[in-house]
Structure 1
Amino acid sequence: MQAAHADEAELYVADDAIQGRYATGADLIGLSTGNLAAEVFTNEEDDLLGTLGLEFSGAPAGISPLVFTAGPKLYVATLDFLDDSFATVALGGKASYEISSHVPQMQIPTYVSGQLYYAPKILSFGEADHLTDFIIRLEAEFVPSLTGFFGYRLLQADLEDSGDYELDDDIHLGLRFNF
């Protein structure tokens, strides 16, 4: 998995959506630990969403194949199909578990990961009442700095006038490059 403060670029594609992500050390904003990550997402409805997040990672003592990441994430979106826009501040994180460490036959590092971010009504502005962003992935590190992944994402906002609106509800494929 990614080393602390390593830069990371990621791209995933789904049938109806695409997202790019870039992460770098939080020392860019004066913090000695953590990462700062930005994402840009669009879908076939011409919705556009950007995020800016602060991530802090760590492994529980004695459980080396398990890594937790947590922190806040700002979501800003313009929904072309509904002519709406919103901003939310979500709290959440990610858990990643190296399954290859327990399966001697696996020749490449392989991980299963899950991510959940939630923005309640009190932290949602504009047309959004709340936001949920859920991702689950199977990841394989093909070479030391290149990871491929296959996953599923549900990115959904509860809008004041329109109810639940899914920006993404699909499987995706992607690559992550650490440098």
Structure 2
Amino acid sequence: MKKVYAWLGAAMLCAVAGSAHAERFDLSIGDDSYRIALNGPLSRVFSQTTGQYDIGAVVRPERDDDLLVAHVGALVTGDAGARSFDSAAGLGLRAVYIGRDDNPGGSIAPGGQFEARFPGYERIGFSVYGYYGPEVLTFGDFEEYYEVGTGVDYQVLRDASLYVGYRNINVKVEDGPRITADNGLHVGMRLSF
């Protein structure tokens, strides 16, 4: 499993080094887990494309099976149409790798997100997202995957935010129980470069 962590870290560093502008780096920490993510304009990867790419991983190092949930995704994004809010929404797909010591697997999970900034208080934002991979789109030793989350952030600087959020990542093992990869509150920061 440590090799997987090393490869994931190397891939994220290459993504950062490969772009002239590193986009947005996100780090959040919960009671039993942490999440590292990088996202930015999809046009950095595919020219002439609107949207957003997202690379990240949630790690629970204290679990007996060293559970790792890593993803790569793309969303088509745009104005959500709320007149008085600065808001954006996105719909897309996420390819998810679910790593356990003996039985890794994964999922292709459709989903979306919504973000808004409050009028007159633009430094305060709200976000919600969700992804779901049913059995037909899940492989390996898993039958289902879902991830939902929400958060409230405050822009300390225009390029640096602190936030509090909640996320639930859950997978169903084939002929077995559900495994909660993450469930609870976390605090985090986002840095734009």
**Same fold, TM-score > 0.5, yes or no:** yes
1:65-121 CA distance string (max 9 Å, x none)? 2211221001001124xx32111000111111223x1xx4x4x61111111100111
Q: Partners of 2:134 and 2:164 in 1: how far apart?
A: 28
Q: Which amino acid aligns with 1:89?
A: I
Cα deviation, residue 62, structure 1: 5.2
Across the two proteins, how many residue pairs are aligned to each other?
168
What secondary structure, in the 3-state scheme, does the structure 2 residue paired with 1:27 have? helix
Which structure's residues are more often strand, by fraction?
1
Structure-2 residue corresponding to 1:57: 77
1:10 to 2:26 alignment: yes
2:96 is aligned, of 75, 93, 98, to 75
Give the CA RMSD over aligned residues. 1.8
Aligned-pair identity (%): 21
Structure 2 residue runs without a partner (length 5+): 1-20
Cα deviation, residue 25, structure 1: 2.7
Of residues 20-29 and 38-47 in structure 1, the stretch that sits farther from structure 2 once superposed is 20-29
Q: Which amino acid aligns with 1:90?
A: A
**Relative to 1, partners in 2 of residues 1:66 and 1:25: Cα closer, same or farther, differing over 3 Å?**
closer
Structure-1 residue corresponding to 2:15: none
Q: Which amino acid aligns with 1:125?
A: F
Find runs of 4+ consecutive structure 1 residues off by over 3 angstroms: none
Alignment of 1:82-121 (within 5 A): 83-99=102-118, 101=119, 104=120, 106=121, 109-121=123-135
**Relative to 1, partners in 2 of residues 1:79 and 1:29: Cα closer, same or farther, differing over 3 Å?**
same
1:135 is aligned, of 149, 162, 178, to 149
2:45 is aligned, of 5, 29, 33, to 29
Structure 1 residue runs without a partner (length 5+): none
Which structure's residues are more often helix, by fraction?
2
Question: TM-score, normalised on structure 1?
Answer: 0.86
